[in-house]
Amino acid sequence: MSRIVGILLAAGASRRFGAPKLLSPLPDGTPVGLASARSLIRALPESVAVVRPGEDRLSPLLVQVGCRLVTNTDADLGLGSSLAAGVREARGADGWVIALADMPWVTTASFAAVAERLRHGASIVAPVYRGRRGHPVGLASQWFTDLTRLAGDRGARELIDGNPEAFTALATDDAGVIRDVDVPADLLA
């Protein structure tokens, strides 16, 4: 069986939110980042969570659900640097499923479906909900070098957009793949 590793990107600064959004409670009281980690871990028990230096409130929660922590000392350089740090930590994997910690409504089934497509030979795969590409994104090991060179806030978007022949769209009815938390009102929407 192919070794697919989950990577939870949880090193953002929450600037638009105005507070540590990954610790903000959902209506059921679960912190946003913890809800995201739980769904990912259920599908991919081997998962890495990339956090900011000094993150001492969310990190223990992520470890408690089974994530291996990676501290990205370059987190202020953007999402790309966190993705690169996570992929480097999980080198040797056959692929990675990249999850955003501010997307707590992605279902475990969506994570599992992306991982399964990677196991069956997809190079780049992402769910598509009503014509919109969402998250998580799956990338096969052939992209290791490209991923470890990422920087900035665009993550793997340029890699995906620049290789349309390698992209597999995974149709889904999971609206969570396009729903994230940017501002406090998003917690209730």
Each residue's pLDDT tens digit, 151-183: 877 778 889 999 999 999 999 999 999 999 988
Whether the pLDDT of residue 1 is over 70: the answer is no
Total count of domains within the chain: 1
Residue in this structure with the two tokens 């980690």, named with its chain if needed: 37
User: pTM for this one?
Assistant: 0.95
**What stretch of H or E contains 10?**
strand 4-10
**pLDDT (tens digit per residue) in 38-50:** 999 999 999 999 9
Average pLDDT of the chain is 94
Predicted local distance difference test score (pLDDT) of residue 122: 97
Nearest alpha-carbon partner for 69 in 54, 86, 44, 81: 86
In terms of DSSP H, where are the helices of 71-107? 79-89
Task: Find out whether 126 and 98 touch, Cβ atoms under 8 Å.
Answer: no
pLDDT at 128: 98
We report the CATH number of the domain holding residue 63 as 3.90.550.10
The parent domain of residue 100 ranges over 4-187
CA 21 and chain centroid, separation: 15
Among 15-19, 35-39, 109-113, 124-128, name the one with the lowest average pLDDT: 15-19
Distance of CA 180 to the CA centre of its chain: 11
* 101 touches 10 (CB < 8 A): yes
